[in-house]
Chains A and B, each alone.
Chain A
Amino acid sequence: MKRFLSSAWFPLLMCLVLAGVTVAAYAVLKPTGADINNSQLVMALQIAGWAIGPVAGLLSFIVICILNLIRRIIRMRKVGWMHPVTILLGIGFWLVVSWVLLDEPRYTDFAAGILDFVARPLLWGSLTATLLTIILAIFVIPSSSVRSTERSEGLSSSKKKK
């Protein structure tokens, strides 16, 4: 389990959770757009509602990959605690966006539509993925500190042998 979470499967899993929970939330909440006069707008928002989950998940995965590439370049790949932090940076953005959007007033049809069809399901998905990352990170961080302790003990014992 810890090895799995320390690997590249962890960010992929979280992005899938983000996408999946967002789509599921949209399906459960079932916004109708009854208070929106513009039928074209409603149709576009219905498509956006289904699509926002996979799009957010994909974009987050790309961002996480880029951040991991940067980590590799600056030689911080083996720093264990950076792994969940990188994932949080990729997913947390959607949490902030959806939270702020849901504070917008519902003055216009467009605003009401964006809040009901996009922001609310996205908040479900990003909040679930973020909380899951934080909870699972509790397994990753201690394991990385154990590994670094073992490594330093191994080095010191090999020095002693010499």
Chain B
Amino acid sequence: MKKYFLLLALPMTVLLTGCLGDVMDPVCEVTTFVAGGDGENDADHCYQTAAVQESDPEDCSKIQFPPPRSKCHLLIAGNTGNPAVCTDVDGGMMGYSQEECLAAAFKNHTVEDCKNAQDEAACRAAWGKNGKGCGDGFTYNQTDNKCDVKKEEDPTGKPTSGGTDDPLANDKVKEDLKSIGDAGWKKYLELLEKDIDGEKDPDRLAGLQKYKEFLDKSGEKLEDVTTKFESLQELKKIFIDSYDPKDAIENMSAKDILSKGFFDRLKDKLTGEDPPTERSKAEDALTVYEKMLEQQGDNDFLQQGRLDRVKDTLISKAKDEATSKLKEGVEDIAKTVAGDAFIVVGIVDHALTSFKDGAQKEVFVGMAAAYNRQRDDLARNHPEWTNEQIHKATVNGIKENPYQDNPNLGFVKYGNLLENGDCKDAGSGNPLCIDNRVFWTAMDKTYEETHKPGK
């Protein structure tokens, strides 16, 4: 019985890897009618079609003439978001240039699309080389022109291999700084400066800089406190953790949030996917906003935990009352210094209920649809702008002219929503508000996901 099962499973595994492009390839040897439009029925265009469908740039080499060959690379880059396929583009007089190929790769794609690429490392390196970053969990190494995996902060303070050498992790230093007096304090800050100067990871650097600022401002309050070296290292880790992008809403995938269940996929396969409308795209954006609000609520809860850890890390010989005052002072300083990293808004619940109400939801749909419309216009009028520039300009445009949007498109006006301000300012007073931290990120992520080719 096992034998029969294997015999059946083998051809199925071949099929399951996707085969339409592979089937087209030998067809091109025999006939060329699968090629482009009328008048383009030649072998080059047939191979181009096969290579683009298979998203395999190596197959583009079968194309004889440069213009369709460069277009082959450009189309694959545009479909997959992989700029590494542009390295073989030779341009030529009538062909496409490498810059055009790269522009197609970056348009409506993010570096996280590299997860689907055949060579993920080369794809990320190409993004990094062009100044777009390597993505979550990676840093660009300019020396080697590749993306290295980010190292985790070691709580024992030992220097990590291949990463920044932590001068504070030296055992002799630990001995010298056993109890922080004035001289020890100065030495600690000097070493921290050294650590900051040598730090290349932007997220860790932000955490370290805020930690140093915290120490500078809270120095007076910590004078009469015996603070051990280990406690300071723990404090340092808390600050760096707060800047850790791992759970940030910016790293949430709109694709995962909007992915359909089995029965929805079956329905789409049987009847064909309905073309997306303005309303459906706006509602998708609100689905992403809702999920991001829930994640932000969890993050706020964790931030509160970290703030408690900042307070609990300090060991004081003073009496309980003094200790609690000291803790409050430290908490205020931490919040002021670290800004959003420690602010616990605690109004995510309010933001969530605000837009779920049926009547109010239409206002949100209107604003989401306006974002999509204005972003489409800006992308069309400014093809040279990056996705980040277009997103910023779109957000500014909506905030500046909320009442100028075309009123005759079946969407409710959203001007009041912007006038009411952020939910953290409105508190529980006004039910109609958005959480600015989350809303615009959700709009950006959903736009990139719903405007990919092949949709």
Give the chain B neighbours of A105 by CB distance below 8 A.
53, 79, 453-454
Looking at A4-12, A50-58, A92-100, A146-154, the stretch in contact with chain B turns out to be A92-100
Q: Assess whether A120 is in contact with B79, with CB atoms less than 8 Å apart.
A: no
Q: Least Cβ distance of B438 to chain A in Å? A: 31
Q: Assess whether B18 is in contact with A110, with CB atoms less than 8 Å apart.
A: no
Give the chain B neighbours of A157 by CB distance below 8 A.
none
Partner of A123, one of B16, B24, B34, B269: B269
Q: Assess whether B24 is in contact with A96, with CB atoms less than 8 Å apart.
A: no
Chain B window 423-447, contacts with chain A (Cβ cutoff 8 Å), 1 for yes, 0 for no: 0000000000000000000000000
In this complex, the interface size class of chain A, counting residues with CB under 8 Å from chain B, is 20 to 34
Q: Least Cβ distance of A43 to chain B in Å? A: 10
Q: Least Cβ distance of A52 to chain B in Å? A: 15
**Main secondary structure on chain A at its contact with chain B?**
helix
Residues of chain B from 110 to 126 with CB closer than 8 A to chain A in the complex: none
In the assembly, what is the distance between CA of A23 and CA of B150, in Å?
A: 56
Q: Assess whether B8 is in contact with A108, with CB atoms less than 8 Å apart.
A: no
Known: A38-B38, A108-B49, A120-B272. A44 touches B33 (CB 8 A): yes
A111 CB-CB contact with B under 8 Å: yes
In the assembly, what is the distance between CA of A41 and CA of B24, in Å?
A: 13
Partner of A107, one of B15, B75, B272: B75
Give the chain A neighbours of B285 by CB distance below 8 A.
none
Give the chain B neighbours of A123 by CB distance below 8 A.
269-270
Residues of chain B from 231 to 285 with CB closer than 8 A to chain A in the complex: 269-272
In the assembly, what is the distance between CA of A110 and CA of B33, in Å?
A: 10
Known: A40-B41, A114-B20, A123-B270. A107 touches B36 (CB 8 A): no
Residue of B nearest to A89 (CB): B8
Known: A40-B38, A96-B15, A124-B270. A107 touches B33 (CB 8 A): no
Give the chain B neighbours of A114 by CB distance below 8 A.
20
Residue of B nearest to A92 (CB): B8
Residues of chain B from 12 to 30 with CB closer than 8 A to chain A in the complex: 12, 15-16, 18-20, 24
B35 CB-CB contact with A under 8 Å: yes
Q: Assess whether B8 is in contact with A110, with CB atoms less than 8 Å apart.
A: no
In the assembly, what is the distance between CA of A92 and CA of B176, in Å?
A: 74
Residue of A nearest to B75 (CB): A107
In the assembly, what is the distance between CA of A40 and CA of B454, in Å?
A: 23
In the assembly, what is the distance between CA of A96 and CA of B24, in Å?
A: 19
Q: Assess whether A97 is in contact with B15, with CB atoms less than 8 Å apart.
A: yes
Known: A107-B53, A110-B49. A38 touches B18 (CB 8 A): no
Give the chain B neighbours of A136 by CB distance below 8 A.
none
Q: Assess whether A107 is in contact with B55, with CB atoms less than 8 Å apart.
A: yes
Q: Assess whether A100 is in contact with B35, with CB atoms less than 8 Å apart.
A: no
Chain A window 99-142, contacts with chain B (Cβ cutoff 8 Å), 1 for yes, 0 for no: 11111111111110010100010011001000000000000000
Partner of B34, one of A41, A89, A101, A107: A41
Known: A37-B36, A41-B33, A110-B49. A103 touches B15 (CB 8 A): no
Give the chain B neighbours of A107 by CB distance below 8 A.
52-53, 55, 75, 79, 453-454
Q: Least Cβ distance of B30 to chain A in Å? A: 13
Chain A window 6-41, contacts with chain B (Cβ cutoff 8 Å), 1 for yes, 0 for no: 000000000000000000000001000000011111
B339 CB-CB contact with A under 8 Å: no
Known: A38-B38, A96-B15, A99-B269. A106 touches B454 (CB 8 A): yes
Q: Least Cβ distance of B196 to chain A in Å? A: 46
Interface centre among B16, B24, B270 (most CB of A within 10 A): B270
Give the chain A neighbours of B18 by CB distance below 8 A.
100, 103-104
Give the chain B neighbours of A44 by CB distance below 8 A.
33
In the assembly, what is the distance between CA of A109 and CA of B20, in Å?
A: 12
Give the chain B neighbours of A111 by CB distance below 8 A.
20, 53
Residue of B nearest to A37 (CB): B37
Partner of B33, one of A38, A96, A97: A38
In the assembly, what is the distance between CA of A100 and CA of B18, in Å?
A: 7
Give the chain A neighbours of B41 by CB distance below 8 A.
38, 40
Residue of B nearest to A105 (CB): B454
Give the chain A neighbours of B37 by CB distance below 8 A.
37-38
24 CB-based A-B contacts, threshold 8 Å: A29-B271, A29-B272, A37-B37, A38-B35, A38-B41, A96-B15, A100-B18, A100-B19, A103-B18, A105-B79, A106-B454, A108-B49, A108-B52, A108-B53, A109-B49, A110-B24, A110-B49, A110-B53, A111-B20, A111-B53, A120-B269, A123-B269, A123-B270, A127-B270
Closest 3 CB pairs of A and B: A37-B37, A105-B454, A102-B269
